Structure 1
Amino acid sequence: MSKNINKEFGLTVKKNENFSEWYSQVIEKAGLADYISAKGFIIVRPYGYAIWELIKEYLDKKFKETGHVNGFLPCLIPEGLLNKEEKHFRGFNPEVFWVTSSGDTPLAERLALRPTSEALLYSIFPKWISSYRDLPLRINFWNTALRAEIKSTKPFIRNSEFLWQEGHTAHIDNEGAKEQVIKILSIYKQFIENVLLIPTISGFKSNKEKFVGADYTTTLEGMMPDGKALQLGTSHNLGRNFSQPFEIKFLNSNNKEEFVWQTSWGISWRLIGALIMVHGDDKGLILPPVVAPIQIIIIPIYKDQNQELVKKHANSLKNQLSDLGYRVFVDERDEFTAGWKYNEWEMKGVPIRINIGQRDIEKNTIEIVRRDNRQKKLIPLNTVSAEIKETFKMLESDLYKNALRFLQDMTHLVENINDFKLLLDKGRGGFLVTNWCGNEDCEERIKEDTGADIRVLPFDIHDLPIKIGNGAAFLTLRQCVYCRQESNQIAVFARAY
């Protein structure tokens, strides 16, 4: 990216012409994050962090409503703990940062900067769990994780250090674990689709792509404008794969000792990256109202002689809207023109702009402008509460409909490997829905040949964003897209971040 990017306020590239550069410019010019010299690390600026805080606030409330409590975990893990579940650790080993000394003194045991927390947390669970009365145990953490992403980094999407949420539970039986997995995935799906307004495809990961150490992984996958998939949230059934090596046992109601059944689940600030990509346009960000740090920006328009009066009315309106629970800001800066302010707040994605000037005061009106489609509406001041509520509702509906329409356009039924390759190489990418034999060898060969992997094995084909009718007849033929052997699974492939 050019070091002189801030010399021009607006975006210098269009989203559909240079998506990667567009994304980088939005992050910097909207004031979300900045880069440091260490590859893969970013500084999140207050505006970007405020979005994360709103995501955290919403989900944290949902978790607590379902019986989860928050804790804190250190970021260093002794190597010996990681080796207790060798298969799990092997999956993360290439990404681990190691601490090998304290000052100039070598450590007796290497310490890993936490890539994930299962080994660290589960080494303590035996101290917390002794009886069935201690179960279910439901605990959640808001923290950072560190993974050595140094080859292909992208802010908020793929970083060496990132903010995330990870939950962990322990249960008496597998039924309790299964229910937990689906409950959390449902919370994620409701949030991502109804609040972030990003439609998803839900289902299982393949055995090859599941979380290392899990019996199975459930996932929510989104489609980005460049035709690549993005994993938005996962929920894992860990079975007894960790409770046995870490000896997490309990006495059941018959006073017999058993191993617990476990789950883990998480989302990260990757959701911010998805928001930028899915909803942004050539003017910058477009933020859904619930996660917008500023939901309404008020621009007073005045000349010197009426400056005081207009600002007074603008702040009175701000107080009125703030009392209704909205996050409102009045831009009173005299050194910038109204037009310059319009562009700045459009860049930051504020959902609604209100313009108010001397003429509006005299007529007892205000002008409301939607960020997504820039539609303007002149309304009586005494109807502002109802109009704002309705405008937010329409904006949310339109953002989701537009994103869903795009997802539908980017989801294709594919019958054979030639069409599969053609769509990826000469088309726009997207989700490719097809038959798969269930053989991991075919899965790996498709990945090698096309760069696409299985993103999700859908819970229900009828929930996919495609029309299942005559055009999907081949899906009933049960013939693998690659080897043409008998197929027992519908799979959704894509190239991905």
Structure 2
Amino acid sequence: MADTSALVSKLSSLGLKDSPVEHVAVENNEQWAEALATASGLPSNYVLTKTLVFKPKQPKSEPIAPIVVVIKETTTASSKAIGTELKLKDLRLANEDVLKDVFQTARGSVSPFALGQVPQEHIGNVRVVIDKALLTGDAQIAFHPLNSSQTVFVDSAALKAYIASVEGLQHVVEMDFTAEPAAAPVPKPAAKPAAKKSSAAAKTEDTAGLNKLGIQTPKSVDFSEWYTEVVLKSELLSRYDVSGCYIVRPRAYFVWQQIQEFFDAGIKGMGVKNCYFPMFVSSQVLEREKDHIEGFAPEVAWVTRAGSKELNEPLAIRPTSETVMYPYFGDWIRSHRDLPLRLNQWCSVVRWEFKNPQPFLRTREFLWQEGHCAYFGKEQAMRETLEVLTLYRRVYEELLAVPVIEGEKSEKEKFAGGVTTTTVEGFIPDTGRGIQGGTSHYLGQNFSKMFNVVVEDPASEAGADRAKLYVHQASWGLSTRTIGVMVMLHSDDKGLVLPPRVAETQVIIVPCGVNAKTTSEQRAAINDACLSVEARL
């Protein structure tokens, strides 16, 4: 438990003059303000605070590196701005486990004084961000002294002195949160009508550009714009009224069908069977594997209402299906004789990307296949991981005529919750950059331990207490990103170029010799000749 008396004693040595103010336990700032409104012995001028703890996205193997943000109650803390300041990505609020294990406190009692409770093995990884607005002026600053039923009031000098006294704390920055809005310049009032006109003109110009049949932007000048033009003008995709979503048109879907047929035949030859699981997953199940879901948390889309009625429990739309499928693996696998269990499903998934959408490459909904298998031993699961990777390479090289290399992801890039991630990577010469083509993962026993997918050890003696073994698992996925990679590599300034094995249209027959003097009989003869060639083809 937190030693409040020791903390108050230390604060007294740093300038604290008054004893902590007692009040009812509070859970948020609104309750805190109400509790202090009826308390006595308060300073005449004080400000309430918020202390937030964030956790950056990081590999499971790295030590936890939380960020403690101390701000005024009225300050809005943007995780993106904090991440930019600290050069960290994908900050999210830390869960109760981090508060308990690292700071030895609980939600509602968090304050900068919890830094003094961080074990030495963690304190060097903790970063502290202090709102500059707290350090100016003469108002007393209110904090909970590790207990939400008490409040202490300190000045900015005492706050800085306490933080400086925390042994091993190395990373402390002061941040001006009021400077954030300045990043987006506000247009002058007089310029507003012109801005609207400019926006409308830009939209008209963009539409006009798309209405031109040819590609307007050279591949070597603006690769991104060229790519968007190609996929739209070649009728692979059309834009949709939901940002980040696209309509897959028949020409592109034909390519996807060829990939489906090729890959489906390959995995069926390996013994994999197709199935289909629902797209919805409960929050309770999704959050069961914390390290796994942390990798997808910012992208998960939630269903919270049915009509006008709020759902009792929010439902996530699957970003991937490990947490959807594996609870049922535990029901279906009763013995080592039920292994291997090898399933694949063709479906769509939703990942609510907030980055710039790119057709086929980065979209909020996309088509893919995902395979999920369970084996008795590591060797079998790892063998499948590599077999599927080879099949992915063949999809690219034999169907799409795209050279790729097989490899293994680094620790930082591997699949969240997995042991090993293997990948096929392509190379786009025009950009000088590689691009991920498809991945297969050896998951080890991480998920089987989480969802209790076990079998009895056949080598152990028969009896009620036979040893249990967790199964080894693999998962793998390939999406319509394949089409985008193919377009990037083969197409040119004249438009779409498709490899023959995935091109729906193989030959175009063009009638020649028709002019104003051509008689109707001659026209009919030319047309019949074209139809005859078509029939032979």
What TM-score do the two structures reach when normalised by structure 1?
0.63
Q: Which residue of 2 aligns with 1:292?
A: 503
Offset at residue 302 of structure 1 (A): 4.1
Count of matched residue pairs: 321
1:238 corresponds to which letter in structure 2?
L
Of residues 232, 236, 243 in structure 1, which corresponds to 2:441? Answer: 236
Q: Distance between the aligned counterparts of 1:318 and 1:250, measured in 2?
A: 60
Q: Tell me the secondary structure at the aligned position of residue 243 of structure 1.
A: helix
2:473 equivalent in structure 1: 262
Q: Deviations over 1:295-349 (max 9, x none)?
A: 222223242443222322322222222xxxxxxxxxxxxxxxxxxxxxxxxxxxx
What is the CA distance between 1:270 and its match in structure 2? 0.5
Between the aligned partners of 1:299 and 1:136, the Cα distance in structure 2 is 55
SS at the partner of 2:403? coil
Alignment match, 1:342: none
Partner SS, residue 115 of structure 1 = coil
1:220 aligns with 2:424: yes
> Is 1:247 matched up with 2:458?
no
- Which protein has the larger Cα radius of gyration, Structure 1 or Structure 2? 2
**Matched residue SS, 1:186:** helix
Amino acid aligned to 1:294: T
Structure 2 match to 1:308: 524
1:297 alignment partner, SS class: coil
In 2, distance between residues paired with 1:153 and 1:211?
Answer: 22
1:246: how far off? 0.3
Counterparts of 1:67 and 1:300, CA distance in 2: 49
- 1:276 and 2:487 correspond: yes
Q: CA offset at residue 190 of structure 1?
A: 1.5
Any idea what SS the aligned residue of 1:80 has?
helix
- The answer to whether residue 536 in structure 2 is matched with residue 320 in structure 1 is yes
Task: Give the aligned residue type for 1:282.
Answer: D
Q: What amino acid sits opposite 2:440 in the alignment?
A: S
Q: TM-score, normalised by structure 2?
A: 0.58
The Cα offsets for residues 5-57 of structure 1, whole Å up to 9 and x where unpaired, read as: 34311111111112111111111110111112322111111212121111112
Aligned pairs for 1:172-183 (under 5 A) are: 172-183=376-387
CA distance in 2, matches of 1:88, 1:263: 14
Q: Which residue of 2 aligns with 1:96?
A: 300
Corresponding letter in the other structure for 1:136 = P
Q: Is the 8 A contact 2:440 2:475 kept in 1?
A: yes
Q: CA deviation at 1:105?
A: 1.5
**Does structure 1 residue 66 correspond to structure 2 residue 282?**
no
The SS at the match of 1:106 is: strand
Q: Distance in 2 between matches of 1:245 and 1:104?
A: 35
Which residue of structure 2 lines up, in the alignment, with residue 444 of structure 1? none
- CA deviations on 1:147-206 (whole Å, 9 max, x unpaired) are 111222101000011111111111010010011011000111112122211111221101
Alignment correspondent of 2:235: 31
Matched AA of 2:511 = P
Q: How does 1:385-404 map to 2 (within 5 A)?
A: none
Q: Which runs of 5+ in 1 are unaligned?
A: 322-497
CA distance in 2, matches of 1:315, 1:58: 31
1:113 aligns with 2:320: no
| Counterpart residue identity of residue 449, structure 2 | Q
Distance in 2 between residues matched to 1:13 and 1:216, nearest whole Å = 41
Matched, 1:84 2:84: no
What is the correspondence of 1:366-405 to structure 2 with a 5 Å cutoff? none
CA shift at 1:130, angstroms?
1.0
Task: Determine the C-alpha separation between the residues in 1 that align with 2:339 and 2:227.
Answer: 45
For the 8 Å contact 2:393–2:405, the answer to whether it is kept is no
Range with greater deviation from structure 2 (172-181 or 145-154): 145-154
User: Partner of 1:132 in structure 2?
Assistant: 336
Percent of residue pairs identical: 41
Contact 1:39 1:150 in 2 (8 A): no
What residue number does 1:170 align with? 374
Q: Provide the residue aligned with 1:471 in structure 2.
A: none
